[in-house]
Chain A
Amino acid sequence: MEEIKIKEPTRVKEIKKDVTILFAGDSGDGIQLTGSQFTNTTALFGNDISTFPNFPAEIRAPQGTIAGVSGFQLNFGSVEIFTPGDKCDVLVAMNAAALKANLDKLKIGRTIIANTSGFDKKNLKLAGYLDMENPLENNSLGKYRVIEIDVTKLTREALKDSDLGVKEKDRSKNMFVLGFLYWMYNREMQPTENFIRKKFQGRQDLIDANIAVLRAGYNYGDTSETFTTRFEVKPAPLPKGVYRNIAGNQALALGLLAAAKKADMPLFYGSYPITPASDILHELSKHKNMGVRSFQAEDEIAAVTSAIGASFGGNLGVTASSGPGIALKGEALGLAMILELPLVVVNVQRGGPSTGLPTKTEQADLLQALYGRNGEAPIPVLAASSPRDCFYTAFEAVRIALEHMTPVFLLSDGYIGNGSEPWKFPLSRDLGSIHPPKIEQKGEGEFQPYARDEKFVRRWAIPGTLGLEHRIGGLEKQDLTGNVSYDPKNHEKMVGLRAAKVEKIADFIPLQTVDSGPDEGKVCILGWGSTYGAIRTAVKTLTEEGMEVSHIHLRHLFPFPKNLGELLKNFTHVLVPELNNGQLVKLIRSEYLIDAKSITKIQGMPFSSSEIRDAVMPYLAS
C-alpha cells in the first residue's frame, strides 16, 4: 500500500474549547457510520464527547428527500461535555435535502461543508427548492462560511484505478468527508483504517478503496489551497483513568450482564424486536459465552411471560421494549407483581402515543410505568440519565428486582439509548454484590411461599428444590401459604403487604443529593432521565452568568428517595423539565403538595440547554 506523507500544517491553527459537528445526508449515505467513526477517533484522542444519532423511521426513505435525511450530531471538547450540543459549528450536507433540513441547527457565521454533486437539479427538486434554485449559488447562505467540495467526483477520481463499479465507488464517499474532517480537526486516521480492515475483512478491494478515499479526503484538505484554518481541540481534563466510548443501549446490556454475574444468576433476556430497544437484544446475543439466554420471542407478551417463566425457574428474567410493546406487556407485569418474582422491564422510550415517532425520543411513558396496570400493582421505577448511566441504573434495577423480589421498570429513551459518550468503566470487583433471597433447603414445618422477612420480601424457592414444591398464580393468594383466597380482609391485607414491600425499598436506596448548586435557594431544577445533560449544561451556563440555581436529578422515581420532599422544600421554585406533557411534575405535586412548575417539550427531540436556560430565567429574575 502506498505510504502517505502528511505535510506539517503551515496554516493558521485555531484553538477551540468545544465543537459541534452535524453530519447529514441520505439515510443510505453512511452518515451514522461516519459519525460513529469520528466519535471513536475523537474519544481515543481524549476529548470529552456526546453524540446524538437522528434518523428517519424508514430504512431507505425516498432518496434525496427531506424525509430521507439522516443525521449524526456530536459535540466534543477540551472541557466537560454533557450534551450533543444545541447548535452546530459545522454542518456537513451531503445533498440539498440535508442542508434544507438542518440549516436552522447551524450557528450563524459557522461552516457548511457541501457535497456539490448532491446539489444538482434532481436533488434540488427532491429537496423542494423552489424553481430548483441552488442555495450554493444564490447568495442565500451569505451568513455562513461555505466549503464546496465535489465529493462524488473526487471519490471517483481517487478510485480511478479500482475495479469496483461506480455504485460501489460512490458508496465510499462518506470516507472522503471523514478524511477531510480528520484533517480539519487534526485527527489520526489509524483507528478508522483499523475499523475498515475489520469491517471488510475478506474483501481486499473494499478495504483498499475505503482507505484510499479516506486518505484522499485528508490529503485534499492538506493540499488544497482553499482551506486556511485547521482547528485544534485539546484533550479534556477528565478524571484520570482508562476510558472507552459507550452507547446507552450497550451500557444497559452490560449493566444487566454485570449484575447477573454479581448475583451469580444466569441472565434470561426475552425480547421482541422494536425500535429503539433492539440494540440491547443484539448486544446481549453477542455474549453467549457469558451464559446469556437471549430469546427472540414471537411477540411482546411472550417476551415478558417467557422472562417470568425463566425467573420462576431461577434465572434473572429481563425483558425490554419501547412504549407500544410495554403496553402489550401490561397484564403480564401485573402477574409478575402479584407472583412477587424478580423481573426487569426496560422501556427505551420513543415518541408516542401509539406507533408515534419510532426513531425520536420522548419521556412520556413515566405514568405508564407507574400506573399502567389493572388493580393495585405498584412496581418500582428507575430512569437512566445518560448513555453511561444506563450501566449503573441497569445494575441498580437488577439489584432491586432480585433483593426485593419484584418486577422493576427501567426507563431509558432513544436519545441516550443511541447516543454515546466516554465512560471510565468500573472494575468488576468494585461493583457491589447482589443477594437474592433464594431458599435452597426445606426448613422446619410446611414451606410457606408467601412468608416475608423484615423487608416484607418473600423467599425464592426454585423448581428442582426438594421439598419446596408450591403453586403460585395470578389469583389473589392467602397470606403466607399462597393458596387461592377470596377472603375480603385477606385481599386488603395482601394489597397492603405488596405495597409496603415496594415502599420499603426506599430504605435501601441512596438519599437524594443535589447534582450541582446549593442545597437551598430560590430555584431548583428537578430532572429525571435523559434531560440530565441539557439541565447540567444550562445550570453551568447560568452559574457562569452569575445566577444561583440548583439541579436535582432523579434516578429513583418510585419509590422516591426518602429525603426528596425535605430537599425540595428548601427551594422557592421547583421547576421540572420533561419531554412530555408534565408527568413527574404531577407526582411531585401530589406527593409533596408543593407548587412545582412544569417545563415541557414534545417534539421528539431532546431539550437544548438554552431552552432550559430560557425557561428558568424568569424564575431567577422574579
Chain B
Amino acid sequence: MNTEAPTYTPKDFATDQEVRWCPGCGDYSILKQVQSVLPDAGFPKEKIVFISGIGCSSRFPYYMDTYGMHGIHGRAPAIAAGLKIANPDLSVWVITGDGDSLSIGGNHLIHALRRNFDINILLFNNEIYGLTKGQYSPTSPEGKVTKSTPMGSVDHPFNPLALARGAGGTFIARALDRDPKHLRVVLNEANRHKGTSLVEIYQNCNVFNDGAFEVFTDKATKAETTIFVEDGQPLVFGENDSKGIVLDGAQPRVVNLENGEASKNDLWVHDSSNRFKAATLLRCFDAPDAAAGCLPRPFGVIFKEDKTCYEDLLHGQIQTAIDTKGPGDLDALLRGENTWEIV
C-alpha cells in the first residue's frame, strides 16, 4: 500500500455521470460504501481500477472517478488478471453480478480464485437477471417464478461462497446492501487482504426481485436468520443474543443460551483461518423460510488465508530468468544457436 496517498473524501471518487440505476436499487448503497472506504484504502486515485462485465452492477465503473473498464459479459476477472499481471501495483476491483460471474463467466471466476490474483471481487447477488428484465439466475431459489420460469425454476441454485472456497478462494465474505456499516467493515478487510477477495453482497433488485433478502434485513426476522461472525467471538445470534451455535463434532447445532442448555463459553468461536470450520460455516445455507431451528445465514469474513499471488510468482520467475540468464539480448535471440555464413 502507498502511504503517500493524498487525502480524499468520498466525493472525490464520484464522476460527473448521472447514476442510472432504478430508484431504490441496492446498488446505490454499495456504490456509496465503496466510495466511502476508498479514501482510507491506501491507494492514490490513479492507481485504482474498476473492471466490470455486463449487467446492472457492471455499470459501476462509469460512476467511479478512477480508471475503469466496462468489459463484456462474464469476462471481468480475466480482464483484471491481464491488468494485474501488466501492473501488479494497481488496486484492482472487479464488479460483477450473479449472472455475470456465476453463469456466463463462471469459468473466469473460479480460475481467478484459484490463481489468487491480488484483486477484490464484489459479487452483487440479487438472485435475478435485472438488465434483461427479470429472468431467473443461477442463485434464484428452486421454484422461483420469473418471466422465463412461469411454472417455477427447476434449477438448484449455487451456494456462491462454497463454490468460491472450492475453487481455492483465499478471502470469502458475505455482506448486505442494507447494512452499510457492516459492508464498509467487510470492504476494508477485502481491500487489506493480499490475494483474491470475494465479497458476496446481497443486493435488493426492487424492480424484478424485490424483497429477496428481506428475511435477512427485516427487523422482525433478521435476528433469527442471520449471524454476524467476527474473529475471536462466539457464534451468538437471535433476539437479545439468546441463541448460539455449538459444534457437536463436525455438526453445528443451535443452542438456547437462556434456558441453561448452554452458555457463551460452550459456543463455537469464530476463527476465519480455520478452513474446516470455514467449510462448515459456508454450508450454513438453509432456505431462510425453512422450519424453525434452521441454522442462521453467516455474514462477515468467513474465511481468509495467506497464499502466494499469481502475479508475484510470475514476476518472480521473470526476475529469476533475468538473474540467471541475464537480461534478454534481442540480437542473441534472433541469432539463435546454430548459424552459418555464406560468403
Contacts and interface: CB of A to CB of B under 8 A. Distances in A.
22 contacts: A46-B342, A244-B338, A266-B86, A270-B82, A287-B328, A288-B320, A289-B321, A290-B327, A291-B328, A292-B318, A302-B107, A306-B78, A311-B86, A312-B69, A332-B75, A425-B335, A428-B330, A428-B331, A464-B89, A465-B46, A471-B62, A473-B62
Contacts of A254: 333-334
B130 interface: no
A257 to B, nearest CB: 7
A107 interface: no
A471 B82 contact: no
B317 A268 contact: no
A-side interface size class: 35 or more
B71 A305 contact: yes
Nearest to B51: A309
B32 interface: no
B85 A289 contact: no
A44 B340 contact: yes
Contact of B47 (A235, A298, A428, A464): A464
Interface stretch (A65-73, A313-321, A513-521): A313-321
Contacts of A425: 334-336
A241 B342 contact: yes
B300 interface: no
Interface in A291-347: 291-293, 295, 297-299, 301-302, 305-315, 317, 331-332, 335, 339
A72 B87 CA distance: 43
Contacts of A315: 82, 85-86
Given A313-B86, A332-B72, A473-B62, 5 more contacts: A291-B318, A297-B78, A464-B89, A464-B90, A468-B46
Q: Which 5 A-B pairs have the closest CB atoms?
A: A473-B70, A309-B82, A313-B86, A290-B328, A306-B82
A463 interface: yes
Interface in B73-93: 73, 75, 78-87, 89-90
A261 interface: yes
A268 B318 CA distance: 12
A466 interface: yes
A301 B104 CA distance: 11
A619 to B, nearest CB: 37
B7 interface: no
A467 interface: yes
Contacts of B169: none
Nearest to B17: A483
Contacts of A109: none
Interface of A: 40, 43-46, 191, 235, 238-246, 254, 257-258, 261, 266, 268, 270, 287-293, 295, 297-299, 301-302, 305-315, 317, 331-332, 335, 339, 425-428, 463-475, 483-484
A469 B342 CA distance: 55
B339 interface: yes
B-side interface size class: 35 or more
B292 interface: no
Interface in B256-293: none
A475 B70 contact: yes
A373 to B, nearest CB: 12
A465 B89 CA distance: 12
Interface string B47-70: 101010010000001101111111
A464 B338 contact: no
Nearest to A235: B342
A317 B342 CA distance: 37
Which of A240, A470, A471 counts the most chain B CB atoms within 10 A?
Answer: A471
B341 interface: yes
Nearest to B80: A309
B86 A309 contact: yes
Contacts of B71: 305, 308, 335, 473-474
A126 B322 CA distance: 52
B112 to A, nearest CB: 9
A472 B87 CA distance: 18
B253 interface: no
Contacts of B111: 297-298, 302
B86 A314 contact: yes
Contacts of B89: 464
B219 interface: no
Contact of B79 (A290, A306, A465, A475): A306
